[in-house]
Amino acid sequence: MDGFAKYLVRRFFQFFLVIFLGVSLAFLITNLSPVDPVEQSVSLMTSFGATDPRSVELMRSALEELYGLQGTMLDQYLSFWGRVLRGDFGPSLSAFPTPVMSLIMGALPWTIGLLTLALIITWSLGNLLGALAGYYRSNVLLKLSGAAVMALHPVPAYIIGLVLLLAFGFIWPVLPISGGAQMNLQPGFTFEYIRSLILHGTLPALTLVLVGIGSWFISMRSLVSNIVTDDHVVYAELGGVNSSKIFSQYVARNALLPQLTGLALSLGNVFGGAVITEFLFNYPGVGRLLIQGIYRGDYSLVLGVTTMSIISVAVAVFIIDLLYPLIDPRVRLG
């Protein structure tokens, strides 16, 4: 078995292990929650008047079967994995009888679109500025850009989001601050709808970009600062090689390899920031859906969103791992 085949086998094993451990942990944490979804549903349904005790017991038994909460915790765990494999998380308590999977599939495209756009901009811009700042260390404009980016780095996402919301929603109201698109527009590939999508997604995406760009800038600048002192870069400079070629071929290209690995490792943190951002701007993604499920004690919705989020992040990391050998030939050669 060659080096690339071994690399693929390891990545496949890690992919399934991450999903298994992550989903199992999500089940355990949700199952140990003090909120009992069955009792909460029974209380909600019986709060409008007296109900026959036998009817209540039948209702409780039906709800336990509906939510997969019958038997011991092991029975529930095995039943849960069966539902995960079937893509069936049962009905949502807060939107009964709508299936949880329907709610997730309706919200997932919004989150994927927002995260993809924000991540591409953040990674590209942060690495570009960091590489330039590390190579052209005497440039005043790059120094000022770096200072601004680093000043934003430790600020929490909800603070930046609130500032943007106040600035562009109230002080200078030029952008919408809630929703994913204008409500009276029919979804479709029309200019009006696409324009509305862009306007509504600008502030959430800008929040994620401003939060995440600092880490990429700092790490890339540090990598480039170390690479410019390597012998091959010094010899190229002494040999009269054009500085732009040295920057692109000798410095930035080598520094991008660890940054691509960092991209895979950062996906979980990016999704965590998106949860707060979506809730803050009432953006119709899975982050807002998750927080709504937690507030309403919706056991199935929380478990479904958490499970699908873990699987989605694991798939994205796996895809990046498969693309990595195309950039680094040393992986293909073992």
Q: How far apart are CA 147 and CA 255, in angstroms?
A: 21
In this prediction, residues 86-105 reach a mean pLDDT of: 78
Residue 327 is encoded by which pair of tokens? Answer: 């950039």
- As to burial, measured by CB atoms within 10 angstroms (0-12 exposed, 13-18 middle, 19+ buried), residue 264 is middle
Residue 103 has pLDDT above 60, yes or no: yes
Give which of 320, 286, 292, 301 is closest to 115, Cα–Cα. 286
Please enumerate in sequence order all residues whose Cβ is within 8 A of that of 241, keeping only pairs 6 or more positions apart, or say none. 250
Phi/psi for 278 (5° steps) reads -65, -40
pLDDT recorded at residue 281: 86
pLDDT recorded at residue 47: 63
Q: Is 143 left (phi over 0), alpha (psi -120 to 50) or beta?
A: alpha
Q: Which helix (H) or strand (E) holds 234?
A: helix 231-238
What's the number of CA atoms in the CB half-sphere (13 Å) around residue 102? 8
Residue 66 has pLDDT above 70, yes or no: no
Please enumerate in sequence order all residues whose Cβ is within 8 A of that of 292, keeping only pairs 6 or more positions apart, or say none. 94, 298, 301
Say how far residue 140 (Cα) sits from the centre of its chain: 34
Rg of the Cα trace of the chain? 25
**In which band, very low, low, confident or very high, does the pLDDT at 36 lie, cut at 50, 70 and 90?**
low
**In which band, very low, low, confident or very high, does the pLDDT at 37 lie, cut at 50, 70 and 90?**
low
pLDDT one-digit tens code per residue, 21-35: 888 888 887 777 666
In this prediction, residues 212-220 reach a mean pLDDT of: 85
102 or 260: which leads in pLDDT = 102
113 or 60: which leads in pLDDT = 113
Q: How far apart are CA 126 and CA 48, in angstroms?
A: 56
Q: How far apart are CA 150 and CA 144, in angstroms?
A: 10
pTM for the full predicted model: 0.77
Q: What is the average pLDDT score of the chain?
A: 78
pLDDT one-digit tens code per residue, 290-321: 888 877 777 778 888 888 888 888 887 788 77
Length of the chain, in residues: 334
- As to burial, measured by CB atoms within 10 angstroms (0-12 exposed, 13-18 middle, 19+ buried), residue 219 is middle
8 or 324: which leads in pLDDT = 8
Residue 141 is encoded by which pair of tokens? Answer: 């404009």
Residue 269 has pLDDT above 70, yes or no: no
Question: What is the DSSP track for 177-232?
Answer: -SSSS-TTSPPSS-HHHHHHHHHHHHHHHHHHHHHHHHHHHHHHHHHHHHHTTSHH
Give the ranges where 87-135 is alpha helix by DSSP (H). Answer: 100-135
For tokens 């880490």, the residue is 215
Phi/psi for 268 (5° steps) reads -65, -40
Q: How far apart are CA 247 and CA 244, in angstroms?
A: 5
In this prediction, residues 134-153 reach a mean pLDDT of: 82
